[in-house]
Amino acid sequence: MRHTADVVIVGGGCMGASAAYHLARRGITDVVLIEREDQLGAGSTGRNAGGVRHQFSTEQNIRLSIESIAALERFEAEIGASVDLHQDGYLFLLSREADVEMFRASVGLQRRLGVPVEWLTPGDAAGLAPGLSVGGVLAATFCAKDGIADPNGVTTGFARAAREAGADIVRGCEVTGIDVVNGRVAGVRTTRGSISAHIVVNAAGAWAGQVGRMAGLDVPVTPLRRHIFIAEPAAGATWDDAPHRGKVPATRILVIDFATSFYFHREGGRLLFGMGDSAEQPGFDTTVRWDFLPDVIEAGIARLPALADAAASHAWAGLYEMTPDAMPIIGPAPACDGFYVIAGFSGHGFQHSPAAGRVLADLIAGRDPGFDLTPFACDRFAAGTPALERHFV
């Protein structure tokens, strides 16, 4: 491992890997990316549902989506790694009048930015997703350019390209401290020794708050456990088998019941589904709470009756990296020169990693990112100017 570097990136998930790649594209290759686990993407990156969508309520998040999804469409050609992108769309189901009005405003904004989002009747929604029950649904939105992709493919693709350009990727190494001298970053301390560096990037995801405290900074990122379950119609069976065919969508369309946050999409011959838990308390525990599954199934059956007879074959839990306004933090920390943050994406980090990494690399390289970063500023909470992403799921 190097003992000096221009840039040290803390965190080997999709954000850290994207930042390393985009720095290399700008000629900054004296970079060390440090991941404490033995493999990259072992945190939130490797435990999410893989969704990518344009349907957000804030202009800045929509713009991140436009750039990121376009990058994913070119990913294999430009970076040489498959990301298994399936653009079968996101379908939001709206069953509350307040949500209908909110989404009307969001659809108007999305369309003004060039996103081909559709406003649907409940019948239209049912036609897009066989097996779906739309009782109580007032309206729906759908964007055919939304979909799912492989977080591991994106992360390892970015990391390999960065390594080939000269970056050092260090796994199984934990950052234990950050040195700050006269208000400026001087380097990091790790379980394998110290690295002198004048720039440190906090890409630690749900652990970004802890890394920030090493530099004496308050980075308001809170970990929140979220569950994902996998269901099959019967032991050893798939949803494509004759007795079960047509009971769930054949495509990988991602359906979200916005009122309950229940969502699902096909995962091969099985079904991936999940839901937020309003009683969940912040913390780093990723143990699966099987006692939460009945609540998810109850909400799920109302939208996908086939779940009533399905079996949950396995599950896992990961961590959302939440900020108070469900918006990311991207940019320099004002109280510590050379310290940058790219974290707090509140459940939509993977899908925004291509654009966010590019934006951060431009900032570090002294380029204009061509992006209004005011809503993502590190100090926006102290300044009392947070925006709010309302399509948080």
Using DSSP, state whether 120 is helix, strand or coil.
strand
DSSP 8-state code for residue 30? -
pLDDT at 386 exceeding the cut of 80: no
pLDDT of residue 372: 93
Mean pLDDT check: name the lowest of 45-49, 166-170, 294-298: 45-49
User: Which of 72, 31, 68, 44 is CA-nearest to residue 162?
Assistant: 31
Q: Say how far apart CA 301 and CA 292 lie, in whole Å.
A: 15
Query: In terms of pLDDT, which residue wins out, 309 or 255?
Result: 255
pLDDT at 41 exceeding the cut of 90: no
Using DSSP, state whether 55 is helix, strand or coil.
coil
User: Which of 341, 332, 343, 323 is CA-nearest to residue 388?
Assistant: 323
pLDDT of residue 1: 83
Q: Which CATH architecture has domain 4-49+151-221+324-383?
A: 3-Layer(bba) Sandwich (3.50)
Residues β-bridged to residue 256: 92, 263
Chain segment 295-349, per-residue pLDDT in tens? 999 999 999 999 999 999 899 999 999 999 999 999 999 989 999 999 999 999 9
Quickly count: other Cβ atoms within 10 Å of residue 41's Cβ: 24
pLDDT band at 382 (very low <50, low <70, confident <90, very high): confident
What percentage of residues in the chain have a pLDDT greater than 90? Answer: 92
Q: Say how far apart CA 323 and CA 294 lie, in whole Å.
A: 28
Q: Say how far apart CA 69 and CA 221 lie, in whole Å.
A: 25
pLDDT band at 350 (very low <50, low <70, confident <90, very high): very high
206 in Cβ contact with 40 (< 8 Å):
no
261 in Cβ contact with 267 (< 8 Å):
no
Mean pLDDT of the chain: 96
pLDDT band at 155 (very low <50, low <70, confident <90, very high): very high
CATH node for 90-144+223-320: 3.30.9.10
Q: Domain coordinates of the chain in residue numbers?
A: 4-49+151-221+324-383, 90-144+223-320
Q: Say how far apart CA 87 and CA 82 lie, in whole Å.
A: 14
pLDDT of residue 55: 98
Chain segment 258-303, per-residue pLDDT in tens? 999 999 999 999 999 999 999 999 999 999 999 999 999 999 999 9
User: Which of 296, 210, 289, 307 is CA-nearest to residue 261?
Assistant: 296
Query: In terms of pLDDT, which residue wins out, 236 or 218?
Result: 218
Structure tokens belonging to residue 114: 């060039």
Average pLDDT over residues 3-24: 97
pLDDT at 381 exceeding the cut of 80: yes
SS3 content of the chain, % helix, strand, coil (to 5): 30, 25, 40
Give the angle subtended at the CA of 286 by the CAs of 200 and 357, to the nearest 5°. Answer: 30
